[in-house]
Amino acid sequence: MSPRETRRLLAQELAAAAAGYQDSAVIPHCPVCAKPCCRLDKLVLELEWKQVKVFWRLDESRKAFDRRLAAGQGPVEIRPANGLYYAHQKACPAYDQTAQSCRVYGQEIKPVGCSDFPVYEDQGKVVADLRCEAVDIAALTAWIARSLGPGWRIVQTADEEFPFLVTLAVKKVSATAGASKRSRY
């Protein structure tokens, strides 16, 4: 197998492990979360036009909406940039605050970033956002180790600027390292 194919398969396994951890440990906690991310008080939600149009129930064209935003007459929580829109500081309109759930859960319209948060695979590593109270980094590390099986070790680092973003990189344990360790006993 080529190194490229090996990396692709590893990334796939990590993405599946991240999704499995979300299903098992994160999503069941959402209805009782003390600080739901969908309130967008800490997080910024990246949106495409189609999501803005549906979530904010807009009838107007994108051009008209952009003009309104530029004139300071649009929703104050939305900022446009690089062809996308960023919502912050007001709860997402798709968030059901009573049920503490997403009204577009499982639907195509749901932003990709929502499905990725708080644990996702990125370039062969797993990234965890500790702003989600359901993430237990030790349990996540053990989950990934179990998913990959023996022969791997997991190295944890925190982002210098945003220490709540923790990266879990996986390294192959070399046969030599295993042999030298065994020889000590």
Using CB under 6 A, list all residues that contact ligand SF4.
Answer: 26, 29-30, 33, 36-38, 45, 92, 94-95, 102, 104, 110-111, 114, 118, 132-134
Nearer Cβ to ligand SF4 (10/33): 33
In the complex, the smallest distance separating the C-beta of residue 138 from ligand SF4, rounded to whole angstroms, is 17
Annotate 121-148 with b (16+ C-beta within 10 A) or e (fewer): beeebbbbbeebebbeeeebbebbbebb
For residue 14, the minimal CB distance to ligand SF4 (Å) is 19
Q: How far is the CB of 93 from ligand SF4 (least distance, A)?
A: 7
In the complex with ligand SF4, which residue's Cβ is closer, 29 or 171? Answer: 29
Question: Which of 20, 124 has the CB closer to ligand SF4?
Answer: 20
For the CB of residue 154, give the shortest distance to ligand SF4 in the complex, in Å.
Answer: 22
Question: What one-letter code names the amino acid at 99?
Answer: A
Return the number of the residue (26 or 170) whose C-beta is nearest ligand SF4. Answer: 26
We find the least distance from the C-beta atom of residue 159 to ligand SF4, in angstroms, to be: 18
- Between 114 and 127, CB nearer to ligand SF4: 114
Cα distance between residue 140 and residue 135, in whole Å: 7
